[in-house]
Chains A and B, each alone.
Chain A
Amino acid sequence: MRRALPWIYMALAYAFIFLPVVTLVLFSFQDGRLPVPPFNGPTLKWYADVLGDSRLMSALLNSLLVGAGSAALSCALGFLAAYGLARHVLPGTLFLRGLLIAPMTVSYLIIGLGLLIVFNNYGPGPSLWAAGVGHVVINLPLAFAIIYASMGAQQENAERAARDLGASEWRVLALVTIPMLAPAILAAFFLCLTLSWDEFIIAFLMTRFDVTLPVEIWSLLRSGLSPRTNAIGSLVFLISVALVIGLELFIFGRKRR
Protein backbone atom coordinates (compact mmCIF):
# COMPACT_ATOMS: atom_id res chain seq x y z
CA MET A 1 0.00 0.00 0.00
CA ARG A 2 2.72 2.46 0.97
CA ARG A 3 4.50 1.74 -2.28
CA ALA A 4 1.38 2.46 -4.29
CA LEU A 5 0.70 5.74 -2.53
CA PRO A 6 2.91 7.95 -4.74
CA TRP A 7 1.35 6.53 -7.89
CA ILE A 8 -2.17 7.07 -6.57
CA TYR A 9 -1.27 10.65 -5.73
CA MET A 10 0.23 11.16 -9.16
CA ALA A 11 -2.87 9.76 -10.85
CA LEU A 12 -5.14 12.05 -8.82
CA ALA A 13 -2.94 15.07 -9.57
CA TYR A 14 -2.99 14.33 -13.31
CA ALA A 15 -6.76 13.86 -13.17
CA PHE A 16 -7.11 17.29 -11.56
CA ILE A 17 -4.71 18.88 -14.04
CA PHE A 18 -6.39 17.39 -17.09
CA LEU A 19 -10.03 17.53 -15.94
CA PRO A 20 -10.90 20.95 -17.42
CA VAL A 21 -8.92 20.42 -20.62
CA VAL A 22 -10.44 17.01 -21.32
CA THR A 23 -13.91 18.41 -20.60
CA LEU A 24 -13.23 21.33 -22.92
CA VAL A 25 -12.05 19.19 -25.80
CA LEU A 26 -14.61 16.40 -25.32
CA PHE A 27 -17.59 18.74 -25.37
CA SER A 28 -16.30 20.62 -28.38
CA PHE A 29 -17.59 17.51 -30.20
CA GLN A 30 -20.97 17.77 -28.46
CA ASP A 31 -23.96 17.21 -30.72
CA GLY A 32 -26.34 19.61 -29.00
CA ARG A 33 -26.60 23.17 -27.76
CA LEU A 34 -24.94 22.80 -24.36
CA PRO A 35 -21.40 21.55 -23.61
CA VAL A 36 -22.47 19.61 -20.49
CA PRO A 37 -23.18 15.93 -19.81
CA PRO A 38 -24.62 13.74 -21.21
CA PHE A 39 -22.32 13.59 -24.21
CA ASN A 40 -24.37 13.16 -27.39
CA GLY A 41 -21.51 13.64 -29.86
CA PRO A 42 -19.42 13.28 -31.75
CA THR A 43 -19.88 15.98 -34.34
CA LEU A 44 -17.52 18.37 -36.09
CA LYS A 45 -20.17 21.00 -36.75
CA TRP A 46 -18.86 23.43 -34.11
CA TYR A 47 -15.40 23.34 -35.66
CA ALA A 48 -16.92 24.01 -39.08
CA ASP A 49 -18.87 26.84 -37.49
CA VAL A 50 -15.76 28.34 -35.88
CA LEU A 51 -13.57 27.98 -38.97
CA GLY A 52 -16.28 29.63 -41.05
CA ASP A 53 -16.61 32.58 -38.69
CA SER A 54 -14.72 35.47 -40.29
CA ARG A 55 -14.58 37.51 -37.07
CA LEU A 56 -12.96 34.66 -35.16
CA MET A 57 -10.56 33.89 -37.98
CA SER A 58 -9.44 37.49 -38.36
CA ALA A 59 -9.00 37.66 -34.58
CA LEU A 60 -6.88 34.51 -34.76
CA LEU A 61 -4.77 36.05 -37.51
CA ASN A 62 -4.41 39.28 -35.49
CA SER A 63 -3.26 37.25 -32.50
CA LEU A 64 -0.62 35.44 -34.52
CA LEU A 65 0.56 38.70 -36.13
CA VAL A 66 0.85 40.54 -32.82
CA GLY A 67 2.48 37.47 -31.28
CA ALA A 68 5.05 36.97 -34.03
CA GLY A 69 5.79 40.70 -34.36
CA SER A 70 6.21 41.35 -30.66
CA ALA A 71 8.20 38.14 -30.17
CA ALA A 72 10.59 39.06 -32.99
CA LEU A 73 11.09 42.59 -31.68
CA SER A 74 11.51 41.34 -28.09
CA CYS A 75 14.18 38.89 -29.20
CA ALA A 76 16.01 41.52 -31.28
CA LEU A 77 16.04 44.07 -28.45
CA GLY A 78 16.75 41.40 -25.86
CA PHE A 79 19.63 39.98 -27.86
CA LEU A 80 21.29 43.36 -28.39
CA ALA A 81 20.95 44.24 -24.71
CA ALA A 82 22.27 40.83 -23.63
CA TYR A 83 25.25 41.20 -25.96
CA GLY A 84 25.95 44.72 -24.75
CA LEU A 85 25.80 43.73 -21.10
CA ALA A 86 27.70 40.46 -21.45
CA ARG A 87 30.52 41.72 -23.65
CA HIS A 88 31.05 45.34 -22.65
CA VAL A 89 31.90 46.81 -19.30
CA LEU A 90 29.21 49.32 -18.45
CA PRO A 91 28.74 51.28 -15.26
CA GLY A 92 25.76 50.03 -13.26
CA THR A 93 25.44 46.69 -15.07
CA LEU A 94 23.52 45.20 -12.15
CA PHE A 95 21.07 48.09 -12.13
CA LEU A 96 20.57 47.92 -15.90
CA ARG A 97 19.88 44.19 -15.71
CA GLY A 98 17.38 44.79 -12.91
CA LEU A 99 15.65 47.50 -14.90
CA LEU A 100 15.32 45.28 -17.97
CA ILE A 101 13.93 42.40 -15.88
CA ALA A 102 11.62 44.61 -13.78
CA PRO A 103 8.44 44.34 -15.91
CA MET A 104 8.42 40.60 -15.12
CA THR A 105 7.48 41.30 -11.53
CA VAL A 106 4.55 43.60 -12.31
CA SER A 107 1.03 42.38 -13.07
CA TYR A 108 -0.03 42.56 -16.71
CA LEU A 109 -3.07 44.52 -15.60
CA ILE A 110 -0.89 47.26 -14.13
CA ILE A 111 1.39 47.40 -17.19
CA GLY A 112 -1.75 47.59 -19.33
CA LEU A 113 -3.24 50.35 -17.21
CA GLY A 114 -0.06 52.46 -17.44
CA LEU A 115 0.09 52.03 -21.22
CA LEU A 116 -3.62 52.80 -21.56
CA ILE A 117 -3.15 56.10 -19.74
CA VAL A 118 -0.21 57.01 -21.98
CA PHE A 119 -1.80 55.92 -25.26
CA ASN A 120 -5.10 57.62 -24.44
CA ASN A 121 -3.61 60.93 -23.39
CA TYR A 122 -0.38 61.27 -25.32
CA GLY A 123 -0.62 58.74 -28.12
CA PRO A 124 -2.78 57.64 -31.01
CA GLY A 125 -5.23 55.70 -28.84
CA PRO A 126 -5.87 51.96 -28.73
CA SER A 127 -5.01 49.73 -31.69
CA LEU A 128 -3.43 46.40 -32.53
CA TRP A 129 -0.09 48.21 -32.67
CA ALA A 130 -0.58 49.43 -29.12
CA ALA A 131 -1.27 45.85 -28.01
CA GLY A 132 1.97 44.80 -29.75
CA VAL A 133 3.90 47.52 -27.92
CA GLY A 134 2.49 46.21 -24.63
CA HIS A 135 3.45 42.65 -25.50
CA VAL A 136 7.04 43.68 -26.18
CA VAL A 137 7.10 45.22 -22.69
CA ILE A 138 6.12 41.90 -21.10
CA ASN A 139 8.24 39.70 -23.40
CA LEU A 140 11.45 41.73 -23.54
CA PRO A 141 12.51 40.75 -19.98
CA LEU A 142 12.01 37.07 -20.80
CA ALA A 143 13.86 37.21 -24.10
CA PHE A 144 16.67 39.17 -22.48
CA ALA A 145 16.96 36.79 -19.52
CA ILE A 146 16.99 33.64 -21.67
CA ILE A 147 19.52 34.97 -24.18
CA TYR A 148 21.72 36.60 -21.52
CA ALA A 149 21.86 33.33 -19.57
CA SER A 150 23.21 31.45 -22.59
CA MET A 151 26.02 33.88 -23.43
CA GLY A 152 28.94 31.74 -22.34
CA ALA A 153 32.71 31.88 -22.53
CA GLN A 154 32.67 29.52 -25.49
CA GLN A 155 31.03 32.11 -27.72
CA GLU A 156 33.28 34.82 -26.37
CA ASN A 157 36.38 32.94 -27.49
CA ALA A 158 34.95 32.38 -30.95
CA GLU A 159 34.06 36.07 -31.17
CA ARG A 160 37.58 37.05 -30.15
CA ALA A 161 39.02 34.72 -32.76
CA ALA A 162 36.81 36.23 -35.45
CA ARG A 163 37.81 39.74 -34.41
CA ASP A 164 41.51 38.79 -34.47
CA LEU A 165 41.00 37.53 -37.99
CA GLY A 166 39.76 40.97 -38.95
CA ALA A 167 35.97 40.67 -38.77
CA SER A 168 34.05 43.86 -38.04
CA GLU A 169 31.70 44.06 -35.03
CA TRP A 170 28.63 43.47 -37.18
CA ARG A 171 30.15 40.52 -38.99
CA VAL A 172 31.07 38.98 -35.64
CA LEU A 173 27.48 39.40 -34.52
CA ALA A 174 25.91 38.09 -37.70
CA LEU A 175 28.32 35.26 -38.47
CA VAL A 176 29.47 34.09 -35.04
CA THR A 177 27.32 35.19 -32.11
CA ILE A 178 23.84 34.85 -33.60
CA PRO A 179 24.40 31.40 -35.15
CA MET A 180 25.96 30.12 -31.93
CA LEU A 181 23.06 31.47 -29.86
CA ALA A 182 20.39 30.43 -32.36
CA PRO A 183 18.84 27.73 -30.10
CA ALA A 184 18.43 30.18 -27.21
CA ILE A 185 17.09 32.91 -29.48
CA LEU A 186 14.59 30.53 -31.06
CA ALA A 187 13.53 29.21 -27.67
CA ALA A 188 12.98 32.79 -26.51
CA PHE A 189 11.06 33.55 -29.69
CA PHE A 190 8.70 30.60 -29.27
CA LEU A 191 8.15 31.32 -25.61
CA CYS A 192 7.32 34.99 -26.32
CA LEU A 193 5.06 33.97 -29.20
CA THR A 194 3.12 31.53 -26.99
CA LEU A 195 2.74 34.07 -24.20
CA SER A 196 1.76 36.93 -26.46
CA TRP A 197 -0.65 35.19 -28.76
CA ASP A 198 -3.07 34.28 -26.03
CA GLU A 199 -2.43 37.18 -23.65
CA PHE A 200 -5.73 38.77 -22.67
CA ILE A 201 -5.68 41.76 -20.37
CA ILE A 202 -3.23 44.03 -22.22
CA ALA A 203 -4.83 43.17 -25.56
CA PHE A 204 -8.25 43.85 -24.04
CA LEU A 205 -7.22 47.29 -22.79
CA MET A 206 -5.17 48.29 -25.84
CA THR A 207 -7.36 47.22 -28.76
CA ARG A 208 -10.62 48.69 -29.95
CA PHE A 209 -11.93 47.41 -33.31
CA ASP A 210 -9.30 44.95 -34.45
CA VAL A 211 -9.12 42.57 -31.54
CA THR A 212 -7.03 39.52 -30.79
CA LEU A 213 -8.45 36.05 -30.26
CA PRO A 214 -8.58 36.00 -26.44
CA VAL A 215 -10.51 39.28 -26.51
CA GLU A 216 -12.93 37.85 -29.07
CA ILE A 217 -13.36 34.70 -26.93
CA TRP A 218 -14.01 36.91 -23.93
CA SER A 219 -16.93 38.52 -25.71
CA LEU A 220 -18.22 35.04 -26.65
CA LEU A 221 -18.34 34.15 -22.97
CA ARG A 222 -21.12 36.67 -22.41
CA SER A 223 -23.51 34.37 -24.24
CA GLY A 224 -22.87 31.60 -21.71
CA LEU A 225 -21.69 28.04 -22.22
CA SER A 226 -21.61 26.88 -25.84
CA PRO A 227 -19.84 24.04 -27.69
CA ARG A 228 -18.71 26.71 -30.12
CA THR A 229 -16.57 28.31 -27.41
CA ASN A 230 -15.25 24.82 -26.64
CA ALA A 231 -14.26 24.37 -30.27
CA ILE A 232 -12.36 27.66 -30.54
CA GLY A 233 -10.81 27.03 -27.12
CA SER A 234 -9.61 23.59 -28.22
CA LEU A 235 -8.08 25.10 -31.36
CA VAL A 236 -6.22 27.70 -29.28
CA PHE A 237 -4.93 24.93 -27.03
CA LEU A 238 -3.80 22.89 -30.01
CA ILE A 239 -1.86 25.79 -31.53
CA SER A 240 -0.25 26.67 -28.17
CA VAL A 241 0.82 23.07 -27.63
CA ALA A 242 2.30 23.01 -31.15
CA LEU A 243 4.30 26.14 -30.28
CA VAL A 244 5.46 24.61 -27.01
CA ILE A 245 6.56 21.43 -28.74
CA GLY A 246 8.54 23.62 -31.11
CA LEU A 247 10.13 25.21 -28.05
CA GLU A 248 10.88 21.80 -26.51
CA LEU A 249 12.55 20.61 -29.69
CA PHE A 250 14.87 23.62 -29.76
CA ILE A 251 15.77 23.21 -26.11
CA PHE A 252 16.32 19.50 -26.64
CA GLY A 253 18.45 20.29 -29.68
CA ARG A 254 20.65 22.50 -27.55
CA LYS A 255 21.01 19.94 -24.78
CA ARG A 256 22.09 17.14 -27.09
CA ARG A 257 24.98 19.15 -28.41
Chain B
Amino acid sequence: MAKPETIRGWGFVAPALLWTLAFFVVPFAIMAAMSLATLDGRELIWGFSLENYTRLFGQSYLLRAIVVSLEITLTVTIVSIVLAYPLAWIIAYRVPARWQRLALLLAILPFWTSYVVRSYAWLLVLSREGVINQALIGLGVISEPLTLASTRFATVTGFVHFFVMLLTLTIYANLIQLPANYRRAAVDLGASSWQAFRHVVLPLTMPGIATGAFLTFVLCIGDYITPQILGGNNELTGPQIIMVQLGRGANFPLAAAMSIVLMALVTLAYLAASRWLRLARL
Protein backbone atom coordinates (compact mmCIF):
# COMPACT_ATOMS: atom_id res chain seq x y z
CA MET B 1 0.00 0.00 0.00
CA ALA B 2 1.44 3.34 -1.03
CA LYS B 3 1.87 6.05 1.57
CA PRO B 4 -0.80 8.78 1.63
CA GLU B 5 1.95 11.28 0.87
CA THR B 6 2.80 9.43 -2.36
CA ILE B 7 -0.85 9.18 -3.36
CA ARG B 8 -1.21 12.92 -2.91
CA GLY B 9 1.86 13.42 -5.11
CA TRP B 10 0.27 11.32 -7.84
CA GLY B 11 -2.83 13.48 -7.55
CA PHE B 12 -0.82 16.55 -8.47
CA VAL B 13 0.96 14.93 -11.38
CA ALA B 14 -2.07 13.03 -12.69
CA PRO B 15 -3.84 15.78 -14.72
CA ALA B 16 -0.75 16.65 -16.77
CA LEU B 17 0.15 12.99 -17.08
CA LEU B 18 -3.32 12.00 -18.30
CA TRP B 19 -3.32 14.86 -20.81
CA THR B 20 0.05 13.79 -22.17
CA LEU B 21 -1.08 10.16 -22.34
CA ALA B 22 -4.45 10.89 -23.94
CA PHE B 23 -3.38 13.50 -26.47
CA PHE B 24 0.24 12.64 -27.14
CA VAL B 25 1.19 9.06 -26.29
CA VAL B 26 -2.04 7.37 -27.41
CA PRO B 27 -2.36 9.32 -30.71
CA PHE B 28 1.28 8.60 -31.36
CA ALA B 29 0.77 4.88 -30.73
CA ILE B 30 -2.27 4.84 -33.02
CA MET B 31 -0.26 6.65 -35.68
CA ALA B 32 2.55 4.13 -35.35
CA ALA B 33 0.04 1.28 -35.67
CA MET B 34 -1.52 2.99 -38.66
CA SER B 35 1.83 3.10 -40.42
CA LEU B 36 1.58 -0.70 -40.47
CA ALA B 37 -1.96 -0.70 -41.87
CA THR B 38 -2.91 -0.74 -45.54
CA LEU B 39 -5.60 0.83 -47.68
CA ASP B 40 -8.05 -1.15 -49.75
CA GLY B 41 -9.54 1.57 -51.89
CA ARG B 42 -10.66 3.96 -49.15
CA GLU B 43 -11.08 1.20 -46.58
CA LEU B 44 -8.45 1.05 -43.85
CA ILE B 45 -7.19 -2.45 -43.06
CA TRP B 46 -5.35 -2.74 -39.76
CA GLY B 47 -2.61 -5.27 -39.71
CA PHE B 48 1.10 -5.72 -39.65
CA SER B 49 2.24 -4.83 -43.10
CA LEU B 50 5.50 -3.20 -44.05
CA GLU B 51 4.00 -2.15 -47.36
CA ASN B 52 4.09 1.58 -46.56
CA TYR B 53 7.73 1.40 -45.61
CA THR B 54 8.74 -0.59 -48.67
CA ARG B 55 6.87 2.00 -50.73
CA LEU B 56 8.72 4.83 -48.98
CA PHE B 57 12.09 3.35 -49.70
CA GLY B 58 11.14 1.78 -53.02
CA GLN B 59 9.37 4.56 -54.86
CA SER B 60 11.92 7.05 -56.01
CA TYR B 61 9.88 10.24 -55.44
CA LEU B 62 9.12 9.23 -51.84
CA LEU B 63 12.69 8.26 -51.07
CA ARG B 64 13.78 11.46 -52.79
CA ALA B 65 11.61 13.50 -50.38
CA ILE B 66 13.36 11.93 -47.40
CA VAL B 67 16.77 12.65 -48.92
CA VAL B 68 15.76 16.23 -49.77
CA SER B 69 14.52 16.79 -46.20
CA LEU B 70 17.75 15.45 -44.80
CA GLU B 71 19.94 17.49 -47.18
CA ILE B 72 18.08 20.71 -46.43
CA THR B 73 18.12 20.07 -42.68
CA LEU B 74 21.84 19.32 -42.55
CA THR B 75 22.69 22.33 -44.74
CA VAL B 76 20.54 24.60 -42.59
CA THR B 77 21.98 23.27 -39.33
CA ILE B 78 25.61 23.72 -40.41
CA VAL B 79 25.15 27.12 -42.08
CA SER B 80 23.17 28.41 -39.09
CA ILE B 81 25.86 27.35 -36.60
CA VAL B 82 28.63 28.91 -38.71
CA LEU B 83 26.74 32.20 -39.00
CA ALA B 84 25.35 32.33 -35.45
CA TYR B 85 28.52 31.53 -33.51
CA PRO B 86 30.44 34.72 -34.40
CA LEU B 87 27.35 36.81 -33.68
CA ALA B 88 26.84 35.20 -30.27
CA TRP B 89 30.56 35.60 -29.58
CA ILE B 90 30.57 39.29 -30.51
CA ILE B 91 27.52 39.97 -28.35
CA ALA B 92 29.03 38.08 -25.42
CA TYR B 93 32.61 39.42 -25.61
CA ARG B 94 32.64 42.63 -27.64
CA VAL B 95 29.40 44.39 -26.75
CA PRO B 96 29.64 46.22 -23.40
CA ALA B 97 27.75 44.41 -20.64
CA ARG B 98 25.01 46.98 -20.27
CA TRP B 99 24.10 46.78 -23.95
CA GLN B 100 24.23 42.99 -24.20
CA ARG B 101 20.62 42.34 -23.32
CA LEU B 102 19.47 44.88 -25.85
CA ALA B 103 21.81 43.51 -28.54
CA LEU B 104 20.51 40.01 -27.90
CA LEU B 105 16.89 41.12 -27.84
CA LEU B 106 17.39 42.84 -31.20
CA ALA B 107 19.13 39.80 -32.64
CA ILE B 108 16.13 37.60 -31.88
CA LEU B 109 13.27 40.07 -32.26
CA PRO B 110 12.10 38.87 -35.69
CA PHE B 111 11.97 35.38 -34.15
CA TRP B 112 8.54 36.44 -32.97
CA THR B 113 7.11 37.12 -36.39
CA SER B 114 4.47 34.56 -37.15
CA TYR B 115 5.98 31.55 -38.87
CA VAL B 116 3.72 31.83 -41.91
CA VAL B 117 4.31 35.56 -42.17
CA ARG B 118 8.08 35.18 -41.96
CA SER B 119 8.19 32.87 -44.97
CA TYR B 120 5.89 35.24 -46.83
CA ALA B 121 8.23 38.12 -45.96
CA TRP B 122 11.15 36.24 -47.51
CA LEU B 123 9.05 35.77 -50.61
CA LEU B 124 8.78 39.58 -50.81
CA VAL B 125 12.56 39.81 -50.61
CA LEU B 126 13.37 36.99 -53.04
CA SER B 127 10.65 37.19 -55.68
CA ARG B 128 11.43 38.26 -59.26
CA GLU B 129 10.24 41.82 -58.62
CA GLY B 130 11.43 41.66 -55.01
CA VAL B 131 13.87 43.76 -53.03
CA ILE B 132 17.05 41.87 -53.87
CA ASN B 133 16.44 41.66 -57.61
CA GLN B 134 15.44 45.33 -57.77
CA ALA B 135 18.49 46.35 -55.76
CA LEU B 136 20.87 44.32 -57.92
CA ILE B 137 19.33 45.68 -61.13
CA GLY B 138 19.46 49.20 -59.72
CA LEU B 139 23.14 48.76 -58.94
CA GLY B 140 23.75 47.44 -62.41
CA VAL B 141 25.05 44.07 -61.20
CA ILE B 142 22.53 42.11 -63.23
CA SER B 143 20.23 43.05 -66.10
CA GLU B 144 17.69 40.26 -65.79
CA PRO B 145 16.05 39.30 -62.46
CA LEU B 146 17.41 36.11 -60.89
CA THR B 147 15.13 33.22 -60.01
CA LEU B 148 15.55 33.14 -56.25
CA ALA B 149 12.09 32.14 -55.03
CA SER B 150 10.71 28.61 -55.49
CA THR B 151 14.17 27.14 -55.18
CA ARG B 152 16.02 25.19 -52.54
CA PHE B 153 18.12 28.32 -51.98
CA ALA B 154 14.96 30.17 -50.88
CA THR B 155 13.94 27.36 -48.51
CA VAL B 156 17.40 27.25 -46.95
CA THR B 157 17.54 31.05 -46.63
CA GLY B 158 14.16 31.15 -44.88
CA PHE B 159 15.20 28.40 -42.48
CA VAL B 160 18.68 29.83 -41.81
CA HIS B 161 17.12 33.20 -40.94
CA PHE B 162 15.00 31.57 -38.26
CA PHE B 163 17.68 29.29 -36.85
CA VAL B 164 20.49 31.84 -36.77
CA MET B 165 18.37 33.65 -34.19
CA LEU B 166 17.71 30.48 -32.21
CA LEU B 167 21.36 29.40 -32.23
CA THR B 168 22.62 32.87 -31.34
CA LEU B 169 20.45 32.61 -28.26
CA THR B 170 21.59 29.15 -27.14
CA ILE B 171 25.28 29.78 -27.90
CA TYR B 172 25.22 33.19 -26.21
CA ALA B 173 23.61 31.66 -23.11
CA ASN B 174 26.48 29.18 -23.04
CA LEU B 175 29.25 31.74 -23.67
CA ILE B 176 28.31 34.12 -20.88
CA GLN B 177 28.42 31.27 -18.38
CA LEU B 178 32.10 30.67 -19.08
CA PRO B 179 34.33 32.37 -16.50
CA ALA B 180 36.65 34.87 -18.22
CA ASN B 181 39.52 33.39 -16.18
CA TYR B 182 39.59 30.27 -18.34
CA ARG B 183 40.57 32.25 -21.40
CA ARG B 184 42.92 34.44 -19.42
CA ALA B 185 44.66 31.39 -17.98
CA ALA B 186 45.10 29.87 -21.43
CA VAL B 187 46.57 33.10 -22.77
CA ASP B 188 48.86 33.44 -19.73
CA LEU B 189 50.14 29.95 -20.43
CA GLY B 190 51.14 31.08 -23.90
CA ALA B 191 48.15 30.22 -26.06
CA SER B 192 47.35 32.56 -28.92
CA SER B 193 43.82 33.91 -28.81
CA TRP B 194 42.90 31.48 -31.60
CA GLN B 195 44.34 28.55 -29.61
CA ALA B 196 42.49 29.70 -26.50
CA PHE B 197 39.30 29.73 -28.50
CA ARG B 198 39.93 26.43 -30.26
CA HIS B 199 41.00 24.45 -27.19
CA VAL B 200 39.18 26.15 -24.32
CA VAL B 201 36.13 28.15 -25.38
CA LEU B 202 34.87 26.01 -28.23
CA PRO B 203 34.81 22.68 -26.33
CA LEU B 204 33.07 24.36 -23.41
CA THR B 205 30.37 25.78 -25.66
CA MET B 206 29.55 22.43 -27.25
CA PRO B 207 26.44 22.01 -25.04
CA GLY B 208 25.00 25.27 -26.37
CA ILE B 209 25.84 24.36 -29.95
CA ALA B 210 24.42 20.84 -29.55
CA THR B 211 21.19 22.07 -27.97
CA GLY B 212 20.65 24.64 -30.70
CA ALA B 213 21.66 22.24 -33.45
CA PHE B 214 19.29 19.57 -32.16
CA LEU B 215 16.38 22.02 -31.95
CA THR B 216 17.24 23.18 -35.46
CA PHE B 217 17.22 19.62 -36.69
CA VAL B 218 13.87 18.76 -35.07
CA LEU B 219 12.09 21.91 -36.17
CA CYS B 220 13.60 21.96 -39.65
CA ILE B 221 13.01 18.38 -40.67
CA GLY B 222 9.38 18.47 -39.55
CA ASP B 223 8.49 21.80 -41.07
CA TYR B 224 5.95 22.12 -43.84
CA ILE B 225 5.46 25.87 -44.11
CA THR B 226 8.87 27.14 -45.23
CA PRO B 227 9.44 24.54 -47.99
CA GLN B 228 5.87 24.96 -49.19
CA ILE B 229 5.94 28.76 -49.39
CA LEU B 230 9.57 29.33 -50.38
CA GLY B 231 10.55 26.10 -52.10
CA GLY B 232 7.50 25.85 -54.30
CA ASN B 233 6.67 22.43 -55.63
CA ASN B 234 9.88 21.82 -57.54
CA GLU B 235 11.15 19.30 -55.05
CA LEU B 236 9.04 17.97 -52.18
CA THR B 237 10.21 17.40 -48.61
CA GLY B 238 8.90 14.72 -46.24
CA PRO B 239 6.37 17.01 -44.52
CA GLN B 240 5.06 18.14 -47.90
CA ILE B 241 4.50 14.49 -48.85
CA ILE B 242 2.67 13.97 -45.55
CA MET B 243 0.36 16.92 -46.23
CA VAL B 244 -0.32 15.78 -49.80
CA GLN B 245 -1.25 12.32 -48.49
CA LEU B 246 -3.59 13.84 -45.89
CA GLY B 247 -5.29 16.08 -48.39
CA ARG B 248 -6.09 14.74 -51.79
CA GLY B 249 -4.76 11.24 -51.31
CA ALA B 250 -6.32 10.64 -47.89
CA ASN B 251 -3.66 7.99 -47.45
CA PHE B 252 -3.19 8.16 -43.70
CA PRO B 253 -1.08 4.98 -43.45
CA LEU B 254 1.53 6.33 -45.86
CA ALA B 255 1.54 9.72 -44.09
CA ALA B 256 1.99 7.90 -40.77
CA ALA B 257 4.89 5.87 -42.13
CA MET B 258 6.57 9.01 -43.44
CA SER B 259 6.16 10.58 -39.98
CA ILE B 260 7.75 7.56 -38.33
CA VAL B 261 10.72 7.80 -40.70
CA LEU B 262 11.16 11.50 -39.90
CA MET B 263 10.90 10.67 -36.18
CA ALA B 264 13.57 8.02 -36.58
CA LEU B 265 15.88 10.59 -38.16
CA VAL B 266 15.27 12.93 -35.21
CA THR B 267 16.11 10.10 -32.82
CA LEU B 268 19.39 9.51 -34.68
CA ALA B 269 20.17 13.23 -34.41
CA TYR B 270 19.42 13.06 -30.69
CA LEU B 271 21.81 10.16 -30.23
CA ALA B 272 24.47 11.98 -32.24
CA ALA B 273 24.17 15.10 -30.09
CA SER B 274 23.27 13.44 -26.78
CA ARG B 275 26.78 13.65 -25.39
CA TRP B 276 26.45 17.40 -25.09
CA LEU B 277 22.69 17.87 -24.88
CA ARG B 278 21.28 19.49 -21.79
CA LEU B 279 17.64 19.73 -22.73
CA ALA B 280 16.58 19.92 -19.11
CA ARG B 281 18.29 23.31 -18.85
CA LEU B 282 16.20 24.87 -21.59
Residues of A within 8 A of B (CB): 6-7, 9-10, 13-14, 16-21, 23-24, 27, 34-38, 76-78, 80-81, 83-85, 87-91, 96-97, 99-111, 113-118, 133-134, 136-137, 140, 144-145, 169, 194, 198-201, 205, 213-214, 217-218, 221, 225, 229-230, 233, 236-237, 240-241, 243-244, 248
Residues of A within 8 A of B165 (CB): 17
The smallest C-beta distance from B102 to any residue of chain A, in angstroms, reads 11
B90 touches A10 (CB 8 A): yes
Residues of B within 8 A of A198 (CB): 114-117
Nearest A residue to B126, CB-CB: A20
A88 touches B5 (CB 8 A): yes
Residues of B within 8 A of A18 (CB): 109-110
CA distance A6 to B103 in the complex (A): 13
CA distance A118 to B23 in the complex (A): 9
The smallest C-beta distance from A74 to any residue of chain B, in angstroms, reads 9
Whether A84 contacts B9 in the complex (CB less than 8 A), given A102-B20, A248-B105, comes out as: yes
A110 touches B131 (CB 8 A): no
Residues of A within 8 A of B105 (CB): 248
Residues of A within 8 A of B110 (CB): 17-18, 20-21, 237
CA distance A237 to B120 in the complex (A): 13
Instruction: List residues of B (221-267) whose CB comes within 8 Å of A's CBs.
Output: 221-225, 229, 239, 242-243, 246, 252, 255-256, 259, 262-263, 266
Residues of A within 8 A of B224 (CB): 109, 201
Chain B positions 100 through 138: 1 when the CB is less than 8 Å from some CB of chain A, otherwise 0: 000101110110111111101111110101110011000
Q: Tell me if B16 counts as interface (CB < 8 A to partner A).
A: yes
A236 touches B114 (CB 8 A): yes
A35 touches B116 (CB 8 A): no
CA distance A106 to B116 in the complex (A): 20
Residues of B within 8 A of A103 (CB): 20, 24
Residues of B within 8 A of A248 (CB): 105
Residues of A within 8 A of B125 (CB): 19-20, 23
Residues of A within 8 A of B13 (CB): 80-81, 84-85, 90, 96
CA distance A107 to B218 in the complex (A): 6
Residues of B within 8 A of A111 (CB): 24, 27
Residues of B within 8 A of A233 (CB): 113-114, 117, 120-121
The smallest C-beta distance from B194 to any residue of chain A, in angstroms, reads 13
Q: Tell me if B81 counts as interface (CB < 8 A to partner A).
A: no
Whether A110 contacts B252 in the complex (CB less than 8 A), given A77-B19, A117-B30, comes out as: no
Q: Tell me if B219 counts as interface (CB < 8 A to partner A).
A: yes
